[in-house]
Amino acid sequence: MDLSLQIAQLTLANPLIAASGCFGYGVEYSDVVDLASLGGVAVKGLFLTEREGHAPPRIVETPSGMLNAIGLQGIGVHRFIAERLPELRERRATVIVNICGTTLDEYVEVARILSDAEGVAALELNISCPNIKEGGITFGCSLPGTHAVVSAVRKVTRLPVIPKLTPNVTDVASFARAAEEAGADAISLVNTFLAMAIDVDTHRPKLTNIVGGLSGPAIRPIAVRMVYECRRVVKIPIIGMGGIATSDDVLEFMIAGANAVQVGTMNFVDPFIWTKLMEGIRCYMERHGLTRLQEIVGTVDTTAGQKAWISS
């Protein structure tokens, strides 16, 4: 069975990637998961320097999901390379570094530094975090901004560049196209949905940051629809995510058009989820006589409903 896929020159052994912001720097999970067995590990978003993030409470649970407003707390790119990357290398993880910036120059600088580091497989551009005011999502919510940041990073790195798109726009497919035109090697989507929860007794927001990003199974159908919309307009690989909890969810994203997926919130619920997902995918391939998993990408049959209508 071939579960592998290609993103530019990079080969991922399988489509299961740990989602950025949900897996620390990967090393936190090295006793729980064989990091080398994952298609990739997308580490927590990194700026040029350290960031403290928002004051707690930073998460609140909602029906089949959660809101978070961590605020991109992080150790910065230099400490990551010195303190975390060696262990990730040793564990033979395929490291996808999620990079952040408050300015275009910061994205470029972080990308340049990581391109010189040994053991980085790809760069995911975080232009979609809903929880920080400056930078980031201001690029991700504007078509020229998306184009500008992707093409600027493209110029300074030979690593695959994967902008991570926000769902908080009217037409996510137009952002996918802008990213492809700017030279992205793949896109990942969706980041979290901007959302809010209020304590009715105190009239206060449940998060210190007032608003946060909704993730988990609650968002999955919307994310699947967005992956489907993007698949119709871009040729580059798509990494789909949003509430994946089972191997059927992985396959649903792939049939909608994703070449790979990321799992985030459900890794919190079950850190041993990875082997279960892998086993489920293998069972499916066996059941359907699939030898190459990539064959199912984008195979959603949207004519089925119409045909049933005509024949009845």
CB of 228 to other proteins, least distance (A): 23
CA distances from 108 to 115, 123, 155, 173, 309 (A): 10, 11, 9, 25, 53
Q: For residue 171, how many other CB atoms are within 10 A of its CB? A: 12
Specify the stretch interacting with other proteins by CB under 8 A; choose among 1-9, 65-73, 96-104, 290-298: 65-73
Token pair of 172 as six digits: 């996510």
| 271 is an interface residue for other proteins by CB under 8 A | yes
Tokens linked to 206:
């449940």
Return the number of the residue (39 or 257) whose C-beta is nearest other proteins.
39
Part of the chain binding other proteins (CB under 8 A), chosen from 29-37, 136-144, 180-188, 227-235: 29-37
Phi/psi at 202 (nearest 5 deg)?
-100, -10
3-state helix, strand, coil in the chain (%, to 5): 40, 20, 40
CB of 78 to other proteins, least distance (A): 16
Buried b (16+ CB within 10 A) or exposed e, 75-108: bebeebbeebbeebeebebbbbbbbbbbeeebbb
250 binds other proteins (CB under 8 A): no
For residue 40, the Cα-to-chain-centroid distance in whole angstroms is 11
Q: Where in the sequence numbering do the catalytic residues fall?
A: 129
Size of the site for other proteins (CB under 8 A): 36
Residue 25 Cβ, how far from other proteins at the closest point, in Å? 9
Nearer to other proteins, 169 or 266 (CB): 266
Applying CB under 8 A, among 1, 36, 49, 61 the residue interacting with other proteins is 61
Q: Could you say whether residue 29 binds other proteins (CB under 8 A)?
A: yes
Could you tell me the smallest distance in angstroms from the CB atom of residue 98 to other proteins? Answer: 13
Among the residue ranges 9-17, 20-28, 162-170, 290-298, the one whose residues contact other proteins (CB under 8 A): 20-28
Residue 120 to residues 21, 41, 97, 106, 159: CA-CA distances in angstroms?
Answer: 17, 10, 7, 18, 8
Which parts of 113-152 interact with other proteins (CB under 8 A)?
none
Using the minimum distance from each CB to other proteins, give the nearer residue, 34 or 270: 270
Q: Binding other proteins by CB under 8 A: which of 116, 272, 304, 311?
A: 272
What is the DSSP secondary structure assignment for residue 74, as one 8-state letter? Answer: B
Hey, is 169 helix, strand or coil? coil
Q: Residue 87 or residue 109: which is nearer to other proteins going by CB?
A: 87
Shortest Cβ distance from residue 137 to other proteins (Å)?
19
Q: What are phi and psi of 306, to 5 degrees?
A: -60, -45
Q: How far is the CB of 271 from other proteins (least distance, A)?
A: 6
Strand 187-189 versus strand 238-241 pairing type: parallel
Which residues 69-108 are close enough to bind other proteins by CB under 8 A?
A: 70, 73
Burial 252-289 (b: 16+ CB within 10 A, else e): bbbbbbbbbbbbbbbbeeeeebbeebbebbbebbeeee
Binding of residue 268 to other proteins (CB under 8 A): yes
188 near other proteins, judged by CB under 8 A: no
Tell me the residue type at 197. A
Binding site for other proteins (CB under 8 A): 21-24, 28-29, 31-32, 44, 52-53, 55-61, 63-66, 68, 70, 73, 208, 216-217, 245, 265, 267-272
